[in-house]
Amino acid sequence: MTSMSNRMINILVPVISVILGLLVGAIVMVVSGYDPVKGYIALWNGIFGDSYAIGETIRQITPYILAGLAVAFAFRTGLFNIGVEGQLIVGWFAAVYVGAAFDLPKVIHLPLAILAGAAAGALWAFLPGLLKAKMKIHEVIVTIMMNYVALYVVNALIKTWSGGGDKTERIKETASLRSDFLASITDYSRLHYGIILALLMVVLMWFLLEKTTTGFELKAVGFNENASEYAGMKIGKNIILAMVISGAFAGLAGAMEGLGTFGNMYTRGGFTGIGFDGIAVALLGANTPLGVIFGAVLFGSLKYGALNMPNAAQIPEEIVQIVIALVIFFVACGYAIRLLLSKISKKKEAK
């Protein structure tokens, strides 16, 4: 009985949070003299309006899923990987490099390019992991620094590779995640097969954490290093492993951009933001694989759909940003809503 209502609550909480966020967002729009109804219709159409929008929304969700997984996986082992951004950037570059530099049949080329992205991300996360494991240096600060290093080093690499240019070569067809089929059914959107990979990774993370001895160890170490050591687990190994896997997810997110959305890489003036949003995505999803999907869908949809609010409802960018932030904020405050609901359901039971 109570467990039933609990499950109900678990589903209701995020929903209500989102609605609340949108409500407050509406108030902001009204106060600043814009029509929230028009605005939200535009948002809705921006997300689901037509096959093109749907395709692009999914395309936008894809890297968020992977970035979310990266952050979530680290958190489950008690590590805060704030360096997903940098791992994503190196992953993007590595994937594009392999995708452009070699001539191979698709069955080899595409997987190879994807793996390159994952490997680069993993490598970028390995160092913070190593420093944490061997010298107890806090991963947050190292990963923040590694973000900037990634940004500038990759820019420099692009220059060197392109002989002073501002962007890499385009990847070969054989390394592309895009397909005419997907384009045709979504009216020329950039939807690519990455979403399938992303979902596979969700399953993989779930499997790793919930089914394997490795996952058991990672979680144990995350909760209590002393007891884990007592139980014969290798603390250092697990910390490094967790960072490396997390980095691999992040690198894949980059590969999605490189092999799917863009097909090449420009020198960057700043970060993509996906890595940082990934933090919110992961925690909104309570660091569970399924939760990450929820978080990514929420973030991706809002982020892409929002583009249509200035386009179709003349609502300024900034207001849209405020609305998005509010939604995130309210979803984060789920506990308050949970409290309310449980009070209500208690009253019901009382009767």
Kindly state whether residue 19 participates in binding another protein, applying the rule CB under 8 A: no
- Do 109 and 136 form a contact (C-beta atoms < 8 A)? no
83 SS3 class = coil
Closest distance between another protein and the C-beta of residue 107, in Å? 26
- Do 74 and 129 form a contact (C-beta atoms < 8 A)? no
Kindly state whether residue 298 participates in binding another protein, applying the rule CB under 8 A: no
- Between helices 36-48 and 289-306, what is the axis angle to 10°? 120
Closest distance between another protein and the C-beta of residue 224, in Å? 5
Nearer to another protein by Cβ, of 108 and 156: the residue is 156
- Calpha distance 10→280 (Å, rounded): 18
Closest distance between another protein and the C-beta of residue 115, in Å? 21
- Do 257 and 114 form a contact (C-beta atoms < 8 A)? no
Closest distance between another protein and the C-beta of residue 179, in Å? 15
Q: How many CB atoms neighbour CB 120 within 10 A?
A: 29
Pick the binder of another protein from 102, 216, 294, 342 (CB under 8 A): 216
The phi-psi region of residue 263 (left if phi > 0; otherwise alpha if psi is between -120 and 50; otherwise beta) is: left
All residues at 6 or more sequence positions from 97 whose CB lies less than 8 Å from its CB, including other chains: 116, 161, 168
Nearer to another protein by Cβ, of 39 and 334: the residue is 334
Kindly state whether residue 237 participates in binding another protein, applying the rule CB under 8 A: no
The first and second tokens of residue 194, run together, are 């990455």
Which of the stretches 100-108, 196-204, 216-224, 238-246 binds another protein when contact is defined by CB under 8 A?
A: 216-224
The first and second tokens of residue 8, run together, are 């109900």
Nearer to another protein by Cβ, of 118 and 272: the residue is 272
Kindly state whether residue 137 participates in binding another protein, applying the rule CB under 8 A: yes
Nearer to another protein by Cβ, of 108 and 339: the residue is 339
Which of the stretches 98-106, 198-206, 328-336, 343-351 binds another protein when contact is defined by CB under 8 A?
A: 328-336
Kindly state whether residue 334 participates in binding another protein, applying the rule CB under 8 A: yes
Binding string, residues 150-179; x marks residues near another protein by CB under 8 A? -xxx-xx--xx-xxxxxx--x---------
Pick the binder of another protein from 87, 228, 238, 345 (CB under 8 A): 228
Kindly state whether residue 223 participates in binding another protein, applying the rule CB under 8 A: yes
* Closest alpha carbon to 282 in 207, 181, 170, 202: 202
* Stretch 27-86 residues interacting with another protein (CB under 8 A): 32, 45, 48-54, 56, 60, 80, 82
Pick the binder of another protein from 65, 88, 89, 146 (CB under 8 A): 146
- Calpha distance 289→205 (Å, rounded): 6
Buried b (16+ CB within 10 A) or exposed e, 169-184: bebbebbbbbeeebbe
All residues at 6 or more sequence positions from 266 whose CB lies less than 8 Å from its CB, including other chains: 158, 166, 167, 168
* Closest alpha carbon to 272 in 85, 58, 120, 84: 85
Pick the binder of another protein from 229, 290, 343, 346 (CB under 8 A): 229
Which of the stretches 94-102, 103-111, 244-252, 324-332 binds another protein when contact is defined by CB under 8 A?
A: 324-332
Nearer to another protein by Cβ, of 53 and 108: the residue is 53
* Stretch 83-112 residues interacting with another protein (CB under 8 A): none
* Stretch 251-270 residues interacting with another protein (CB under 8 A): 257, 261-264, 266-267, 269-270
